[in-house]
Structure 1
């Protein structure tokens, strides 16, 4: 059986971004996650912060909508304009999530169903600072905490990996 970890208000996990991305952050990528959010949880599964500005540059938020927070070196699109999907995943069920980022196109695959949108504006050559910190289940300046179980969370330098979440990364969820 696969192992999952429970994250709650007492959980505090962080790592330097450089440890996770020693060669820099990929321009096109996938985020793959297998999670079971607690019913009605509101908060970010993970948040990545810039070391130079201490601004949040990447994150996945759960609430009434699912938010893909993205902010490149020019501050675009930023928190206010980051893409949202009209999908509430905080239902106490296991979900296999794949987010594909290729140029400005963003596709979220949830349990085999695709949701497509665009990242509104970015720098012509977007880059994310890898000199900061990554926090699991929280944001620095928010009291909201993502609560639930997590089996997998990975950033893969291949935008097509998001579409293989169901058959390759997490083929069986109980």
Structure 2
């Protein structure tokens, strides 16, 4: 009965995404601030402001991620890039194993996803159905479910994907996709949830950006604000300062941040918000025909 209910919700989603037309091929696109695109700065239901990885940084504490979704074409009007960087600064509830971001095709196929926890999983499926599930990259031996802040960068290029955690741990896995992979942008992007799963994200997220090309993933930790500019911060596990690794002449560009940030208020180091039931009704931002 429960499975039928989930399938019914998926069917409610399809009329919208099928009516968005044919997705064009990617011809170059700017960086996409996913949090801004999903209206995090306006604090939708289940989202509130929290302290980020540095005391002066603004993050968002999420308790009902099933309400955070948008049409993929709204984020990627020119198509999804073949090679790209996915960058996030995130802190999950201890012991959590849940998706951070999921991208669905018009047919409801999960094309892209990043699942945090122990282990970390990267999910990818192009227009040809490659790679098959047994070949999906799994990063064992890494845990992002310890309740600590982590900087995570994913670099997807050619037939491989590289995961960089806390500017130090770097692991590469094969990604046997087709030579000319395409991701359908006629579907939806969902934060912190999957359509047919009960697992949902709980925690804080400060940044979530997708950038064409892989250079951004390898330069993620060279950002000036990594040092918190003289303020004390909670350092990710086993992370060392990279101040000596950056030339004084280098001025890396900052990734785009949400606007209209309010003054920071004190919050508890961690509280456990109550998660509402997932996938009840349609996703906000998605209307039935």
TM-score tier after normalising by the smaller chain length:
over 0.9
Counterpart of 2:261 in structure 1 is none
For 1:11 and 1:123, the matched residues in 2 are separated by 31
Report which of the two structures shows the higher radius of gyration computed on alpha carbons: 2
Counterpart of 2:209 in structure 1 is 154
Counterpart of 1:125 in structure 2 is 180
Give the RMSD, CA atoms, in angstroms: 1.6
For 1:168 and 1:24, the matched residues in 2 are separated by 27
* Number of residue-to-residue matches in the alignment: 172
For 1:122 and 1:170, the matched residues in 2 are separated by 35
Counterpart of 1:19 in structure 2 is 74
Counterpart of 1:59 in structure 2 is 113
TM-score, structure 2 normalization:
0.57
Pick aligned residue for 2:95 from 34, 40, 43: 40
Task: Select the structure with the greater relative contact order (CA < 8 A; seq sep ≥ 6).
Answer: 1
Q: 1:170 to 1:17 in 2, by over 3 A?
A: farther
Q: Does 1:116 align with 2:182?
A: no
Say if 1:104 and 1:122, in contact at 8 Å, map to a contact too.
yes
Counterpart of 1:50 in structure 2 is 105
Gaps in structure 1 of 5+ consecutive residues: none
Say if 1:31 and 1:154, in contact at 8 Å, map to a contact too.
yes
Say if 2:66 and 2:200, in contact at 8 Å, map to a contact too.
no
Say if 1:39 and 1:91, in contact at 8 Å, map to a contact too.
yes
Gaps in structure 2 of 5+ consecutive residues: 1-55, 235-289
Counterpart of 2:138 in structure 1 is 84
Say if 1:30 and 1:100, in contact at 8 Å, map to a contact too.
yes
Q: Which has the higher strand share?
A: 1
Q: Which has the higher helix share?
A: 2
Larger CA deviation: 91-100 vs 73-82: 73-82
For 1:137 and 1:169, the matched residues in 2 are separated by 28
Q: 1:95 to 1:75 in 2, by over 3 A?
A: same
Larger CA deviation: 161-170 vs 10-19: 161-170
TM-score, structure 1 normalization:
0.93
Distance apart, 1:63 and its partner CA: 2.9
Say if 2:65 and 2:191, in contact at 8 Å, map to a contact too.
no
Pick aligned residue for 1:28 from 73, 83, 92: 83
